[in-house]
A and B are shown apart, each in its own frame.
Chain A
Amino acid sequence: MGRILAALVTATLFCATPLLAKDALMIDNVQEPSTLDPHLQWNPDSYTVYRNIYDNLVTRDATGAIAPQVAVSWEAASETEVDFTIRDDISFHDGTPLTPEDVVFSVKRITDPEFKSPQLGQFSSIIDAAVTGPSTVRLTTNGPYPVLLAQLVKLSIVSKAYTERMGNEALNLNPMGSGPYKFVEWRKGVKVVLARNENYWRGTPPFATVEFAAVPDAATRIADLKTGKADLIVGLNPDDALQLDGSSGVEVRSAPTERVGYFMMNTQAGPLTDQRVRQAVSQAIDRQLIIDALLGGFSQVTNQLLTPAHFGYVEGLEWHGYDPDKARALLAEAGHANGVEIEIITAPPFDQRIIQAIQQQLSDVGITLTISMSDMSTFLGRRRADPDGFGDTVFGRWSCACQDADGVLYAMFHSGSVWSKYANPELDKYLEAGRSTLDDAERMAAYTEAHRIIYEDVPSIPLYQAAAIYGANASLNWSPTANESISIMDMAWTD
């Protein structure tokens, strides 16, 4: 018996070492894709898969700058019109060429209200798309729209003929694009299998096949990585990352994302209408401590509600430092020497440890934070409610998936936005200026002013730039990016 056991253990040790360069890449996502129709869902479990099947109109390069993909170049014809020149050497997986008609069809499909895409709002500024020549397309917006290119990074180009012939349901179940990988099979709930597109226009994709599995439990994803069942796993938290330390053949990879942790305050009702109280809240929160203690040091403090990955990020800004004495003094000055009670609305998806840490830090200066937890739907109802129904504060991680100040600051602070609990005509003016000119320098100037007002008036506290943490087979050559895409074209085995 002992000998058998010893033999088994020996065999196990050999099996457990990750296999050498193989032709298949296995990726563990958290959930299976909601859909593989690229015009319906933009959640990471879906787009990490379908963005390898499709090409997008434009993309972002390794530095995060917007770069050509299906469009070779683009030029503004007027304040509201942009002309795109489309590559003529791209073919769909069925062999048909990708034409300007397909680009126009894709734009019109996602902007058609009857199509009911949840992404509609990201593209609804586009009011027309037209073929203007053998390889040119013109997009028309309902006003000068500087975020257009940033939004088009997310626009996958589908085949007009295939989609019309097969219908929307078939496109979801049998997606067909022009990207580096062809769709092979979607075993519902188990995995999606993709195969190399040998004729891909950007070169030969690195692996013969790629499989995306749905593994919801992080501990199981880690087991998959350790046993070599998976080569890349997503969605780890700092505690999970610790479990990978010291395991041979696997390593943690992380990257700062465009998600901003923030603590927003209701400036239009309740005790936080007083700027001094808001500043006291800010100076009572030790952001670095939260990052070190709860986020494993993976995230970084940010002094504005943007990250370096956003357009509109201004280098070198300051924020009110952690200073509990100053916070107490400000509270006393505002007439709250004996303490003040405020409420935070929240729902299960938000990291409750951070909220409890903030609760503790606020109580140290005499602010009692009551946590009102509800289901997501009720929470969103209050989140979007009038200032009187909102509560006093909310914690979240904002992502516009567009890496542009307009997607964050306008929605968060403009007096006309349902998410805003702040009304300041001066800030409104700069936010409007930022979205109504195509001139980058003018936009930067507007956002610099917007940051200044937010710093002075403290309608919201920037906490940290969130990190995305992955586990990878050590021989997989790949670095994560700020937009959390998993571009297989950029991967390879190291030998």
Chain B
Amino acid sequence: MPYFLAVRSAQALFALFGVATLVFMIQHLSGDPVVLMVPEGATAEDIVILRREFGFDRPLGVQYLDYLRDLLRGDFGTSYIQNIPVADIVGSRLSYTLRLSAAALAIAFLVGMPIGIFAALNRGRLVEKPALALVLAAQSMPTFWSGILLILLFAVTLDWLPSSGAEGGSAIILPAICLSGLTMATFARITRNAIVEELGKDYVRAAYARGQKRLSIVLRHVSRNAAVPLISITALELANMLAGAVIVETVFAWPGLGLLAVQAIQANDFLVVQTIVLLGAAAYIVLNLTADILYGLVDPRIKAVGR
């Protein structure tokens, strides 16, 4: 296990380094950041002055090494546009994204798993159909549309919940429901398929033979085995949410990382965009690593392979 952890951690670090390099290169390949900052009609001299002041006239290699050194120190730089440290800007939005992701994930679990179990236990019966229809709808409705529908119904027509923003405890409800849709559908499908598969296995038949009730078999034995694919899906879905739910946050004006990313791209605030991309990549890598470790805890067979 320690060896397995060390190898996976080294791989994770290497991946992060690759992402950092890629982000830097893409940003510099796409041209001169100063040109995007100046107003229409700026003269060539104005542009040269600003480029020198920002240090964009130095050789690319020097800029790259500086950038890596600052990253290692945990220094993400100072935003060209806002003139304050990028870490402060991104940090101020992190808690909103964490809260929204946690709420959405909770909804996805609490709704998706029971639907999946229900559908698996009633496979092929008429009662399964509405459950599958709900899953299909949650999966296929684009969030920019379902978000507006939620706002029109619950904010404009019924006036139960605020239409946008992050003020008061109730503001999180609509964006969380909207964001949870796809993940909920994924959980439901994965749960259903995993349980259906497990139900056909010998140990289930053995449990029936021992006279156990079906529900107790599902909850005590089957669900544990069916959980393995769910772990990796959860890690991916959570990483997706942490990287910024761009559309949901934009529609609901929820001030998380996704909205910040959009704002930063529109304002050409490169360092902020770069930091969000790095953070998103780090979330993916760390959560995948966590999932790998959890597999080992849930299913000893996987740990054996790792050793």
Most chain B beta-carbon contacts within 10 A, residue among A15, A189, A227 = A189
- In the bound complex, do residue B41 and residue A407 qualify as a contact, i.e. CB atoms below 8 Å apart? yes
Closest approach, in angstroms, between the C-beta of A148 and any C-beta of chain B?
16
A426, B40: Cα distance in complex, Å: 24
A41, B269: Cα distance in complex, Å: 12
Residue in B closest to A14 when the chains form the complex, CB atoms: B159
Closest approach, in angstroms, between the C-beta of A285 and any C-beta of chain B?
22
- In the bound complex, do residue A216 and residue B39 qualify as a contact, i.e. CB atoms below 8 Å apart? no
For B89, what are the chain A residues with a Cβ–Cβ distance below 8 Å?
188
A187, B166: Cα distance in complex, Å: 10
Q: Can you list, as one digit per residue, whether each of A22-51 has a CB less than 8 Å from chain B (1) or not (0)?
A: 000000000110110100111100000000
Interface residues on A, range: 35 or more
- In the bound complex, do residue A190 and residue B166 qualify as a contact, i.e. CB atoms below 8 Å apart? yes
For A400, what are the chain B residues with a Cβ–Cβ distance below 8 Å?
39-41
A378, B157: Cα distance in complex, Å: 45
Does A118 count as interface, using CB distance less than 8 angstroms?
Answer: yes
Residue in B closest to A186 when the chains form the complex, CB atoms: B92
- In the bound complex, do residue A118 and residue B53 qualify as a contact, i.e. CB atoms below 8 Å apart? no
- Which residues 388-404 of A sit at the B interface, judged by CB distance below 8 A? 396, 398-401
For B126, what are the chain A residues with a Cβ–Cβ distance below 8 Å?
none
- Which residues 149-206 of B sit at the A interface, judged by CB distance below 8 A? 151-152, 155-159, 162-167
Residue in A closest to B145 when the chains form the complex, CB atoms: A219
Q: Can you list, as one digit per residue, whether each of B247-267 has a CB less than 8 Å from chain A (1) or not (0)?
A: 000111101100110110011
Assess A40 versus B83: contact at CB under 8 Å? Given A32-B263, A189-B92, A378-B30.
yes
Residue in B closest to A170 when the chains form the complex, CB atoms: B84
Does B299 count as interface, using CB distance less than 8 angstroms?
Answer: no
Does B75 count as interface, using CB distance less than 8 angstroms?
Answer: no
Closest approach, in angstroms, between the C-beta of B275 and any C-beta of chain A?
15
- In the bound complex, do residue B156 and residue A114 qualify as a contact, i.e. CB atoms below 8 Å apart? no
For A122, what are the chain B residues with a Cβ–Cβ distance below 8 Å?
39
Closest approach, in angstroms, between the C-beta of A237 and any C-beta of chain B?
16
- In the bound complex, do residue A226 and residue B50 qualify as a contact, i.e. CB atoms below 8 Å apart? no
For A226, what are the chain B residues with a Cβ–Cβ distance below 8 Å?
156
A456, B235: Cα distance in complex, Å: 65
- In the bound complex, do residue B83 and residue A16 qualify as a contact, i.e. CB atoms below 8 Å apart? no
A189, B156: Cα distance in complex, Å: 23
Does A132 count as interface, using CB distance less than 8 angstroms?
Answer: no
- In the bound complex, do residue A43 and residue B267 qualify as a contact, i.e. CB atoms below 8 Å apart? yes
A227, B250: Cα distance in complex, Å: 19
Does B31 count as interface, using CB distance less than 8 angstroms?
Answer: yes
A40, B83: Cα distance in complex, Å: 9
- Which residues 102-129 of A sit at the B interface, judged by CB distance below 8 A? 113-114, 116, 118-122, 124
Closest approach, in angstroms, between the C-beta of A245 and any C-beta of chain B?
15
Closest approach, in angstroms, between the C-beta of A399 and any C-beta of chain B?
6
For A418, what are the chain B residues with a Cβ–Cβ distance below 8 Å?
43-44
- In the bound complex, do residue B263 and residue A31 qualify as a contact, i.e. CB atoms below 8 Å apart? yes
- In the bound complex, do residue A118 and residue B163 qualify as a contact, i.e. CB atoms below 8 Å apart? no
For B253, what are the chain A residues with a Cβ–Cβ distance below 8 Å?
213-217, 220
- Which residues 26-66 of B sit at the A interface, judged by CB distance below 8 A? 30-33, 35-44, 46, 49-50, 53-54
- In the bound complex, do residue B82 and residue A121 qualify as a contact, i.e. CB atoms below 8 Å apart? no
Known pairs A113-B49, A376-B36 / 5 extra A-B pairs, C-beta < 8 Å: A32-B263, A116-B50, A116-B53, A213-B165, A216-B250
What are 18 contact pairs spanning A and B, CB under 8 A? Answer: A31-B263, A34-B267, A37-B83, A40-B81, A114-B53, A116-B50, A116-B53, A121-B38, A121-B41, A189-B259, A189-B260, A190-B167, A214-B259, A217-B250, A217-B251, A219-B151, A220-B148, A411-B43
